[in-house]
Structure 1
């Protein structure tokens, strides 16, 4: 397939992209943990309705999940001592970030790893006309792989890889792509970063 996508270099509408990137800084989750003998109280501030709270084990298996029902502050108690000994994490999935709060359970004791707390910023993709903007904040300069696939309306169900790029050693990632033939099919944007996969379809 020819001329499906063109990569535009830096300098095109970067002011708009940078403004989007700066908004990431305001999305940092604020949480408080009160760890008592038989109950752990988790308080999250500045959450929105629809944010997802999960508890996962060290293999990424979801043991508990709950969608936040209202915006503002969220508080809930958990009896984490019922979990088998091992490593776990609270995960708060918000609009443009994922907050991770690791903890371990051992001999009916729960210990939170403050040094291991981190925020993964999601890639943000948006389309203006035939331009695709991809921005991501990565404070630890984690690599970002961007794969773009195109599925033609004429060949339904068959997608083709049209562009792939790996970006490294950058705290602020900004890319602009020109999508050719956008009316003749759909694009799928697949981003890999920090062990996560983020996908968006553009019809």
Structure 2
């Protein structure tokens, strides 16, 4: 009889927890505190292959997972064991990175919804000797594009082109590159993307 009551209580608790998670899933990105130790991360509109990481303030990856499902992602994390400090959940999609920062202080986890941010990655396409670069930049952040030619041994590179682009919402550049190997760096604030081109 005691086992039946205990199992019934567990069942009711699981149904209540599931209802809570599904209720919060209406937001695009929501964080739900569950009990004293668990935090449930709920992400909407994910795709298989999206990369979820937890990083510390030095950029060290503490957790990494390639998402295997489409649509809604839900997972519980015990973040209270992390040392005091600043951390981020980082969800990397095809052309954007969603940042969800949080702090741990004496086993207490605090999320600041207003500090969540989205960074847009550049799109680079090569068509024979032409390289197209497009980047969505809604906050008009200064963006620098550097193009390096890499020597035949691959040991040295020479800067061939450098430009800082400011006050531009949609960055669009086309480069005509001679035959050879190139490295293109596109940086904006603390985000840098490197692409290698073999022409």
Q: Same fold (TM over 0.5)?
A: yes
Secondary structure, aligned partner of 2:114: helix
Whose radius of gyration is greater, 1 or 2? 2
Matched with 1:8 is: none
Q: Does 1:133 align with 2:132?
A: yes
Instruction: Give the match's secondary structure for 1:70.
Output: coil
Q: Aligned-pair distance for 1:47?
A: 1.6
1:147-158 paired onto structure 2 within 5 Å: 147-153=146-152, 157-158=155-156
**1 or 2 for the larger relative contact order (CA 8 Å, sep ≥6)?**
1
How many Å apart are 1:156 and its aligned residue?
Answer: 5.2
Counterpart CA distance in 2 for 1:83 and 1:97 is 27
In the TM superposition, 1:159-198 aligns within 5 A as 159-179=157-177, 181-182=178-179, 185-198=180-193
* Contact 1:120 1:194 survives alignment (8 Å): no
Partner of 2:40, secondary structure, is strand
Question: Equivalences for 1:1-203 in 2 at 5 Å?
Answer: 30-36=28-34, 37-153=36-152, 157-179=155-177, 181-182=178-179, 185-203=180-198
Measured on the aligned residues, the alpha-carbon RMSD in Å equals 1.8
Take 1:160 and 1:65, find their aligned partners in 2: how far apart are those partners?
34
How many residue pairs were aligned?
A: 171
Hey, which bits of structure 1, 4+ residues long, moved more than 4 A?
Answer: none
Distance 2:115 2:137 in 1: 16
Structure 1 distance, partners of 2:187, 2:29, is 27
Q: 1:187 to 1:110 in 2, by over 3 A?
A: same
Structure 1 contact 150–187 (Cα < 8 Å) conserved: yes
Helix, strand or coil at the partner of 1:169: coil
What is the TM-score normalised by the length of structure 2? 0.79
**TM-score with structure 1 length normalisation?**
0.77
Measured at CA, do residues 131 and 101 of structure 1 come closer, stay the same or move farther in structure 2, by a change above 3 Å? Answer: same
Instruction: For 1:89 and 1:159, locate their aligned partners in 2 and report how far apart those are by CA, in whole Å.
Output: 34
Q: Which runs of 5+ in 2 are unaligned?
A: 1-26
SS at match of 2:109: strand
**Distance (whole Å) between structure 1 residues aligned to residue 66 and residue 125 of structure 2:** 25
- Structure 1: gaps spanning 5 or more residues: 1-28
Q: Please give the alpha-carbon distance, in whole angstroms, between the structure 2 residues aligned to 1:104 and 1:92.
A: 17
